[in-house]
Chains A and B, each alone.
Chain A
Amino acid sequence: MSALDDRPLLVAEGLTKHYGQHIGCADVSLDIHEGEVVAVVGESGSGKSTLLGLLSTQLLPSAGSVRYLMRDGEERELLSLSEAERRFLLRTDWGFVHQDARLGLRMGVSAGGNVGERLMAVGWRHYGRIRAEAEHWLDRVEIARSRIDDRPDTFSGGMRQRLQIAKNMVTRPRLIFMDEPTGGLDVSVQARLLDLIRGFVSDYGLAAVIVTHDLAVARLLSHRIVVMRHGRVIETGLTDQVLDDPREPYTQLLVASILQA
């Protein structure tokens, strides 16, 4: 379907965000293609989350633009979408996985209700079908069906992240934004989650923007890498190239520090 269409899914140009006098992120331009996973790396405070917020229209830029190729093939400037269109996009064609599961889940609502929420938001009104769909996605993220009526506050950290993924996947998004999805998890739990994300990306042809300060996560998941420092992109390229042969001294430092660890 998109063989004829090599237009990028998302095009960001000159994205800048000031927090008062302070710069959150400055003059970032970036393309994301269908099925492509882009990692945004850099130390804490380098502007990764700000960039993710701008790309996903959660933050208003001080300057710059984001265009997106809608499902109907039309390219739209995201800032020009009506609030209703924007919400629809966010909860159908996009997904969000937060480091803090409480931002992505309703902790007082059962796992099934969490997964079903997007479906109900787009008009599903058959309880049995919503539940069947929720069971399907719980299977896919390896959460036992018997937990469908339990609330996520009874889940482990790893399960919560997997539930966030299931919650997003029900509408078959084409693009998913993740901010430190494995942050704060034990190494073995991290590995399982990364495996799952990798599987989803390839099975569903998902495009993803993954913010991480962990170069190993970037190495494992991403095709392309964007290195940020002081709110600017200082280096970008294919993940293996950048990690094996970093150009910028700062990137060399980042890579060296992980090799030492």
Chain B
Amino acid sequence: MSDAAVYNFAYLDEQTKRMIRRALLKAVAIPGYQVPFASREMPMPYGWGTGGVQVTAAVLGADDTLKVIDQGADDTTNAVSIRKFFERTAGVATTTHTSDATVIQTRHRIPETPLREGQILVYQVPIPEPLRFLEPRETETRRQHALEDYGLMHVKLYEDIARHGHIATTYAYPVKVDGRYLMDPSPTPKFDNPKMDMCPALQLFGAGREKRIYALPPYTRVVSLDFEDHPFEPTKFDRGCALCGAEGIYLDEVVTDDCGGRMFVCSDTDFCESRRTPPRAAAPGLNEVPR
């Protein structure tokens, strides 16, 4: 008997998946609003993407193709174990190629290859509440959302500039969704914020420990907060990828030997590999020539 027959499809029972889908529908109907849901125990500890896994389980169908990334890479322990989990429990096809995937679960990055209509990007979220940093009371942050009372978020950005001379927040950079809700884009680098704006794919966010789900339907306006005299600027890298030469993409610094050698390479491993593998054409929408 195969493993897939032992588990219910995608591990969760149908009742639970329906409950999560109801939360997802509400989240899609109110872009950026944090919908509470009855987060379940998963066979992995919190902090390992249980929120994302539950969302993925609820949206996955038998004919989906799943990709899982962690910090842009398909081959980290976390990404591999989540991918295996769904191979085992749902028997779905998996891929590392962004353009072949119908569902992509991610921690910390948005793929460089532009997403298209019909794809779903599922984010693993540790702390869904962007105001938590300055306001520990849940009752108060809820009221602030209800009243669109977001001055406090700018206090945080003010503090950044006062301390560092510029907005030093580079991860989980707060955004305003569809002109209404303040949202934490999860710990993605601010480099990826512009990709969220008017994205053709459906973006779903799951926070397991905090029991919250939120969403960006396709083509939702997502604006990064800033000041008139300190406008939002995505991170820029002053070099290209040492492996594939791509420019204008997000780079990770990697140590190459034990004598302090290091280089900067694409954080998106699939993107980098497809640019270096001739048979697969360069990813659509990006046409830098490898140097």
Contact = CB atoms under 8 A, between A and B. Distances in A.
What is the predominant secondary structure among interface residues of chain B facing chain A? helix
B162 A149 contact: yes
Contacts of B149: 84, 87, 121
Contacts of B229: 126-128
Q: How large is the interface on B (under 10, 10 to 19, 20 to 34, 35 or more residues)?
A: 10 to 19
B230 A120 contact: no
B41 to A, nearest CB: 34
A126 B228 contact: yes
Nearest to A121: B151
Contacts of B152: 117, 120-121
Nearest to A128: B229
B143 A120 contact: no
A84 B149 CA distance: 8
A116 interface: yes
Contact of B158 (A87, A108, A113): A113
A83 interface: yes
Interface in A154-180: none
B77 to A, nearest CB: 35
A125 B152 CA distance: 12
Contact of A117 (B146, B155, B163, B226): B155
Contacts of B161: 127
B163 A106 contact: no
A256 interface: no
A109 B151 CA distance: 14
Given A87-B147, A121-B149, A130 B228 contact: no
B102 to A, nearest CB: 40
B129 to A, nearest CB: 17
Interface string A110-121: 101100111011
B166 to A, nearest CB: 10
Contact of A120 (B147, B158, B163, B226): B158
B132 interface: no
A106 B131 CA distance: 14
B163 A149 contact: yes
B227 A127 contact: yes
A116 B158 contact: yes
A191 interface: no
A44 B233 CA distance: 55
A122 B134 contact: no
A84 B154 contact: no
B13 interface: no
B167 to A, nearest CB: 9
A130 B154 CA distance: 11
Question: 7 smallest A-B Cβ distances: which pairs?
Answer: A121-B151, A120-B154, A120-B151, A127-B227, A126-B228, A84-B147, A149-B162
Given A120-B154, A120-B155, A131-B162, 17 more contacts: A83-B143, A84-B147, A84-B149, A106-B134, A108-B134, A113-B155, A116-B155, A116-B158, A117-B152, A117-B155, A120-B158, A121-B152, A125-B226, A126-B227, A126-B228, A127-B158, A149-B162
Interface of B: 134, 143, 146-147, 149, 151-152, 154-155, 158-159, 161-163, 226-230
30 contacts: A83-B143, A83-B146, A83-B147, A84-B149, A87-B147, A87-B149, A106-B134, A106-B155, A109-B159, A110-B159, A110-B162, A110-B163, A116-B155, A117-B151, A120-B151, A120-B152, A120-B154, A121-B149, A121-B151, A125-B227, A126-B227, A126-B229, A127-B158, A127-B229, A127-B230, A130-B158, A131-B162, A148-B162, A149-B162, A149-B163
